[in-house]
Chains A and B, each alone.
Chain A
């Protein structure tokens, strides 16, 4: 892997060459949180951010998208051209890149490749940046605090400079264009990188044991813990909306009244919502809230391990951030392991 370095004071100039590779999205402050959006000036870009409210998933798999329009006269018109518009995602944390790598397995490498996702992913340049974990991150427990692929360039803070790791030939093209800003790192720079890498690993406040978790989940399938979480869950679906690796979606047609024209829409869905497992005839396979909470965690921590060899959680802490009932990856794993009591913040009916 090619590695160079760049002075931090030149980062604004570096970002100025990125429009050559697509529309630039970067972490910006929005209210009390952060979002990936298009900066209108360099000072809007936040390099020291905890996590964005929505993960980069929103740009690869938009919350609501038209996949194609249909018309008896014009036939089908898909939205692949729009999806192929070049984009640069600047300042993505390692766990979010890991999240995209997981989505790749589902949408690009699985049995039924998704052309819309693949078009966006191919047209997107990813530039990663390292981060300091806070009390909600558990990316190291999920082995997602470091990535070795899935990015074009990755910037690692070594003081007054960034080490720039090149991940792809497109990343190399960016460096050729900004060649005047790049220098060869010294041995001292590499030492500094290693020192900071260890310090970041040591600074995680949350440590979760995953080793035998699939087996423990198997043993605890009928545990009362799920009922307790079911009492607390509001079925709002916030956890799956902000999750970088939740990818359930619904598909429906919007037909123009009085004609045979219309659009096929794909929209995010959530297994926490009551209608997720509702089928024709009124049968609901996961009517109880407890079963929906359980389903989500079994899919992430057990089903995904069986299918892809690793859990799909990447430890970003977004579910910790948003769940009003404090049901999140940390509280669930610790409770199912018997390391803490379940404390539902809400208890009412069970559906």
Chain B
């Protein structure tokens, strides 16, 4: 998929909470991002393959409690998506007293782990930062190839 320079950056939200999706969509679109969403992992993966977003916001507890973890592994197996920045947005480590994921543990191939409820300013900052970093890596690797 070829993207032009002026095309808005695309974000894919994979989350089953429609209210949350609506709120994040409004926030991101107001900041100039193009937003798509999917209500579960399977649809999300399909959409990610076809639309190749610039960044993915991924919930964990959807149809299944650990769905997002498996989706993330799948994402990393797809060559075109293996470097796409992913932010996990989940309440799994605040609402689940029996399981606390340390956001800094670094055991998942995610770029960032943010706890729900999400601070909108922090989310926007992180989305922009990760997209810029990703674009920088992409352009430098293209320069090396040339």
How distant is the Cα of A40 from the Cα of B105 in the complex, in angstroms?
Answer: 22
Q: Within the complex, which residue of A12, A13, A24, A43 is in contact with B73, where a contact is CB–CB below 8 Å? A: A24
- Contact across chains for B70 and A41 when beta carbons are under 8 A apart: yes
Contact of A180 among B64, B100, B107, B108 (CB under 8 A): B100
Which residue on chain A has the smallest CB distance to residue B108?
A19
Residues 40-54 of B contacting A (Cβ, < 8 Å):
41-42
What residues on A are CB-neighbors of B105 within 8 Å?
A: 20, 177
**Alpha-carbon distance between A10 and B98 when the two chains are bound, in angstroms:** 8
CA distance A23 to B70 in the complex (A): 11
A180 and B70 contact, CB distance less than 8 A: no
User: What's the nearest-Cβ distance from chain B to residue A15, in Å?
Assistant: 7
- CB-CB < 8 A to A40: which residues of B? 41-42, 70, 74
Q: Across the interface, which residues of B come within 8 angstroms of A12, CB to CB?
A: 64-66
Looking at the assembled complex, report how far the CB atom of B15 sits from the nearest CB atom of chain A, in whole angstroms.
16
Q: List residues of chain B with CB within 8 A of the CB of A38.
A: 73, 77
Of the candidates B77, B105, B107, the one having the most CB atoms from chain A within 10 angstroms of its own CB is B107
CB neighbors of B among A173-196 (8 A):
177, 180-181
Q: Report if A346 contacts B (CB, 8 A).
A: no
* Residues of B contacting A20 in the complex (Cβ-Cβ under 8 angstroms): 105, 107-108
CA–CA, A63 to B143, complex, Å?
40
Q: Are A42 and B66 in contact (CB under 8 A)?
A: yes
Closest-CB distance, A62 to chain B (whole angstroms): 18
Which bracket fits the contact residues of A? 20 to 34
Can you list, as one digit per residue, whether each of B46-89 has a CB less than 8 Å from chain A (1) or not (0)?
Answer: 00000000000000000111110110011001000000000000
* Bitwise interface map of A from 18 to 57 toward B, beta carbon under 8 Å scored 1, else 0: 0110011000000000000011111100000000000000
Complex CA gap A345/B74 in Å reads 45
Q: Which residue of chain B is the closest to A43 with respect to CB atoms?
A: B64
Residue of A nearest to B99 (CB): A13
Contact present for A181 and B70 (CB under 8 Å): no
CA distance A181 to B42 in the complex (A): 28
B73 touching A19, Cβ below 8 Å: yes
Q: Is B109 in the interface zone, CB < 8 Å from A? A: yes
Besides A7-B98, A19-B109, A42-B65, 19 new A-B residue pairs in contact (Cβ under 8 A), listed by A number: A12-B65, A12-B66, A13-B65, A13-B98, A16-B66, A16-B69, A17-B107, A19-B73, A19-B107, A20-B107, A24-B73, A39-B70, A41-B64, A41-B67, A41-B70, A42-B64, A42-B67, A42-B70, A180-B100
Residues of B within 8 A of A (CB): 41-42, 63-67, 69-70, 73-74, 77, 96, 98-100, 105, 107-109
Return the 5 tightest CB-CB contacts between A and B, nearest first: A20-B107, A16-B69, A13-B99, A12-B66, A16-B66
